[in-house]
Structure 1
Amino acid sequence: MDEIIFFDTMRQGLRVAVITSLPILTVALVVGLAIGLFQALTSVQEMTLTFVPKLAAIVVVFWLSMGFMTQMLVSYFQDHLLPLVSGV
């Protein structure tokens, strides 16, 4: 395999990974900041207060964006990896 093809495949794979994980990471960041601000303003330092809402938000966003994530991964596999493996 040529080095250019290898690095291009790696670049595209990393791009797909970033785009796929962006919705979940963004929601986790926003919810974490909101809960941190709430804890700082009210002086409530409960450990489950940070974990449970963030986990619930991540599960909801994952459920909503699951079709998009699957479509991105399948498209990357069929358009980029499968032709490389089959030698086309």
Structure 2
Amino acid sequence: MLSEGIFYDTLRQGLWVAVTVSIPILTVALVTGLAIGLFQALTSIQEMTLTFVPKLAAIVIVFWLSMGFMTQTLVAFFDGHIIPLIIGNL
């Protein structure tokens, strides 16, 4: 049976891994959105595809570049915390 302390510790670590894995993509989306918004405000161009396409391209590029980091982080979390809980070693 899983104790309450181990459950909450695993939940906390899982949430931290989710935040760590999502930071690169969210940061690029924020910076790209701010840059495009500033460009639109300066030029008075209000085209919807101008905000969507560059942001999507930036997110895909950063996702492709950070896939190794994301995979290593998730595998380390599962190997170190989730799999031992399933097996019963903790």
* TM-score, structure 2 as length reference: 0.97
Shift of 1:2: 0.5
Q: Structure 1: which amino acid aligns with 2:56?
A: L
| Residue in 2 that maps onto 1:80 | 81
Identity %: 75
| Residue in 1 that maps onto 2:9 | 8
Shift of 1:30: 0.1
Shift of 1:17: 0.2
* TM-score, structure 1 as length reference: 0.99
| Residue in 1 that maps onto 2:41 | 40
CA distance in 1, matches of 2:77, 2:56: 28
Instruction: Report 1:19-34 matches (<5 A).
Output: 19-34=20-35
Q: Structure 1: which amino acid aligns with 2:3?
A: D
- Listed one character per residue, the Cα deviations across residues 43-72 of structure 1 (whole Å, up to 9, x for unaligned) are 000000000000000000000000000000
- Listed one character per residue, the Cα deviations across residues 11-42 of structure 1 (whole Å, up to 9, x for unaligned) are 00000000000000000000000000000010
Aligned residues, how many? 88
Instruction: Report 1:42-81 matches (<5 A).
Output: 42-81=43-82
Runs of 5+ in structure 2 lacking a partner?
none
User: Deviation above 6 Å: which 4+ runs of structure 1?
Assistant: none
